[in-house]
Structure 1
Amino acid sequence: MFQTGQKIVYPMHGAGYIEDIEGTEDGEYYIIRIPTGNVRIRIPKDRAADTGIRFLEEKVAVEETIVRVGKSKPTLSDNWNLRYKENFSRLKTGKLEQATEVIKLLYEQERKKKLSSVECRLLGMARQIVLSEIISVYEINSEKAEELLANWLEN
């Protein structure tokens, strides 16, 4: 499915790449490197599809997705616990659109009322995931990625 050197997105961590494919007595494993946080993940090759790993989106799709979510009018639950569970589930999908929705929803919530510390961490995770994909796809630094994200969400 994946080859060494290919750029991917790993749910809950963001963009990275296949550093190696390792063969052991137990089977083959993808060794995934996530540059943000210098994370290294080892997952069984035969279960990779179940983890939600995916290829990076194309440049056009990244921008279109973020702009579309930015224009959406999210509905927010007043119950922070329910909001947290829904947003956490979105992040676990590993999909760009879902992670961007978490950012949009939590920004909207923050405009109404200060976020709890748990929601602040969730917002940070979502931003890291989306920004890491922008950085990888556009091959830019984090400052430029922050600018693009802000512009696209405001359009």
Structure 2
Amino acid sequence: MTKAKKPEFRPDEFVVYPAHGVGKIVSIEEQEIAGLKLELFVISFEKDKMTLRVPTNKAIDIGMRQLSSPEVVSKALDTLKGKARVKRAMWSRRAQEYEQKINSGDLMAIAEVVRDLHRADDQREQSYSERQLYEAALERLTREVAAVSGDDEAGAQRKVGDVLTSRAA
């Protein structure tokens, strides 16, 4: 029986951590915790001024992954062009689903949230919680688009914004 090949994460590489989005592996260090030697990925989330230490043997289990391929990014951008799908469920239930999608780290799911919560200027006002979820999803999406395309964040925001406005036209 062959063991599934686990992705190798290296220092200076961008990765996606489900609950926090795109971060950069700064180093791999060994620490002794409760008498056990642990190998840890040290991941920096520059924008959030946060550093995370993830045991190397748990990285895959918790859903840490490499950046999406350019094909997945363009599929995600195509998703934005689709028509918003809003279920008729109560907002609290929908908000929970949106949050799960955002924290899944799955770029396609995040793109769906952006698509579903995007408002054109002539549409009704968003509630505070809708806007919070929309902005969180949009930020995750643009950060990964920027990291994959090698663009800066402003360029990625323009790219995503252009797709969203073209949809409204």
Q: Please tell me the TM-score bracket, short chain as reference.
A: 0.7 to 0.9
Residue 147 (1) aligns with residue 164 (2):
no
19-28 vs 101-110, which moves further = 101-110
TM-score of the superposed pair, with normalisation by structure 1: 0.87
**More relative contact order, 1 or 2 (CA 8 Å, 6+ apart):** 1
Residue 28 (1) aligns with residue 34 (2):
no
Which of 125, 128, 135 in structure 1 is aligned with 2:136?
Answer: 125
Separation of aligned partners in 2, 1:53 and 1:81: 28
Amino acid across the alignment from 1:12? A
Separation of aligned partners in 1, 2:119 and 2:61: 32
Q: From the superposition, tell whether residues 19 and 81 of structure 1 become closer, same or farther in structure 2 (CA, over 3 Å).
A: same
Separation of aligned partners in 2, 1:10 and 1:92: 9
Separation of aligned partners in 2, 1:18 and 1:37: 15
| Structure 1 position 70, deviation (Å) | 2.3
| Structure 1 position 133, deviation (Å) | 0.5
Q: Which residue of 2 aligns with 1:52?
A: 63
Q: Which residue of 2 aligns with 1:5?
A: 12
Separation of aligned partners in 1, 2:87 and 2:139: 22
Which of 122, 125, 133 in structure 2 is aligned with 1:114?
Answer: 125
Amino acid across the alignment from 1:152? V
Q: In terms of Rg, which structure is larger?
A: 2
Q: Which residue of 2 aligns with 1:14?
A: 21
**Residues paired across the two proteins, number:** 155
TM-score of the superposed pair, with normalisation by structure 2: 0.81
Q: From the superposition, tell whether residues 111 and 25 of structure 1 become closer, same or farther in structure 2 (CA, over 3 Å).
A: farther
**Does the 8 Å contact 1:76/1:109 carry over to 2?**
no
Q: Which residue of 1 aligns with 2:77?
A: 66
| Structure 1 position 111, deviation (Å) | 6.7
- CA offset digits 1:25-70 (Å, max 9, x no partner): 2311111112222221111111111221111112232122221342
Helix, strand or coil at the partner of 1:46: coil
Residue 138 (1) aligns with residue 152 (2):
no
Q: Which residue of 1 aligns with 2:50?
A: 39
> Alpha carbon RMSD of aligned pairs, Å?
2.2
Separation of aligned partners in 2, 1:152 and 1:63: 11
